[in-house]
Amino acid sequence: MTSQAAGATASGAPLRVLVARAVFPQHIERVSEYFTVDYHDSDDPLSAPQLRERLADKHGALITGSERIDATLLAGASELRAIASISVGYNHVDLPACSSHRVVVTNTPDVLTETTADLGWALMMAAARRLSESERWLRAGHWRRWSLDQMLGHDVHGSTIGIFGMGRIGQAIARRAQGFSMRVIYHNRSRLAPEIENECAARYVSRRELLETADHLVLVVPYSPSVHHMIGAAELALMKRSATITNIARGGLIDEVALCDALRRGVIAAAGLDVFEGEPKILPGLLELPNVALTPHIGSASYATRDAMAHLAIDNLVAALSGQVPPCLLNPEALAF
Among this protein's residues, is 279 annotated catalytic? yes
CB 240, CB 266: distance < 8 Å: no
Q: From residue 153, give the alpha-carbon distance in Å to each of 119, 126, 174, 285, 309.
A: 19, 10, 22, 22, 36
Considering Cα of 282, then 283, then 288, then 290, what sign does the dihedral take? Answer: negative
Among this protein's residues, is 176 annotated catalytic? no
**Catalytic residue of the set 27, 250, 256, 306:** 250
User: Which amino acid makes up residue 66?
Assistant: S
Contacts (Cβ under 8 Å, ≥6 apart) of 4: none
Burial of 291-308, coded b for 16+ CB within 10 Å and e otherwise, reads bbbbbebbbbebeebbeb
How far is 102 from 111, CA to CA, in rounded Å? 27
Point out which residues pair with 336 in neighbouring strands: none
Residue 221 DSSP symbol: P
How far is 123 from 183, CA to CA, in rounded Å? 19
How far is 237 from 251, CA to CA, in rounded Å? 19
How far is 104 from 328, CA to CA, in rounded Å? 10
**Catalytic residue of the set 154, 229, 297, 311:** 297
**Catalytic residue of the set 209, 279, 311, 333:** 279
How far is 274 from 299, CA to CA, in rounded Å? 7
How far is 333 from 205, CA to CA, in rounded Å? 34
The closest of 60, 140, 149 to 102, measured between CA atoms, is 60
Residues assigned a catalytic role: 250, 279, 297
